[in-house]
Amino acid sequence: EAGVAQSPRYKIIEKRQSVAFWCNPISGHATLYWYQQILGQGPKLLIQFQNNGVVDDSQLPKDRFSAERLKGVDSTLKIQPAKLEDSAVYLCASSLESGGQYFGPGTRLTVT
Amino acid sequence: QKEVEQDPGPLSVPEGAIVSLNCTYSNSAFQYFMWYRQYSRKGPELLMYTYSSGNKEDGRFTAQVDKSSKYISLFIRDSQPSDSATYLCASHTGGFKTIFGAGTRLFVKA
């Protein structure tokens, strides 16, 4: 069974630029999550999708972050414009309903 | 107060030792409890997923939840150098907004 796929693996951008991350969850997983993990901290949930719909985006900085999940499968997370404090690893995870989450390898973002 | 707290370590043990990793949580509504292992520059890997109080065993790993004291534990028997990683505990109330601890770094010396 293929795991959660993410791309790119690494990205370096300057502040005020925009960036997008892509995630393909495990086949059949209805729930998809985006997390931000800053060095030395645990993952922080940014947004959670159930199929196409958003069930939690309370910690998503909506003035600069956006996410979508078209057709209930793939998802993209965008940051525009980026700030220095957005430097982190962005993790995508998926699960069957409310089960344990399976994570992708993450995208390491550096904002200079 | 953070909702899920872990001692960041590092915790260093000799190969073959029994390792005890612990978390405390503050939200009494948490019902589901998880342990993840994260190697450097990798995504977290689900180790254990439990519901409510009690013990769950899987190979060398045992997860223990005590809801009366809001305490979560992970025990690793016969620890191996390959167990060296950061261990994250996490909880949620039922499908929404999983809260992670900051992780405990474990080193198992050969």
Q: Which tens digit of pLDDT belongs to each residue from B49-79?
A: 998 888 999 999 999 999 999 999 999 999 9
By CA distance, what is B43's nearest residue in A? A105
Contacts of residue A63, defined as CB under 8 A and 6 or more positions apart, other chains included, come to none
CB contact under 8 A, B95 and A41: no
A-B contacts at Cβ under 8 angstroms:
58
Contacts of residue A18, defined as CB under 8 A and 6 or more positions apart, other chains included, come to A78, A79, A80, A81, A82
The pLDDT confidence band at residue A56, using thresholds 50, 70 and 90, is very high
Could you tell me how many helices (H) and strands (E) chain B has, helices first? 0, 11
Cβ–Cβ contact B100 with A under 8 A: yes
pLDDT at A51: 87
How far is Cα B57 from Cα B64, in angstroms, rounded to an integer?
9
The whole-number average pLDDT for the span A19-34 is 95
pLDDT surpasses 90 at B1: no
pLDDT tens digits, B11-64: 999 999 999 999 999 999 999 999 999 999 999 999 999 988 889 999 999 999
pLDDT at A86: 97
**Mean pLDDT of the residues in chain B:** 94
CB contact under 8 A, B46 and A4: no
How far is Cα B95 from Cα B6, in angstroms, rounded to an integer?
22
The pLDDT confidence band at residue A69, using thresholds 50, 70 and 90, is very high
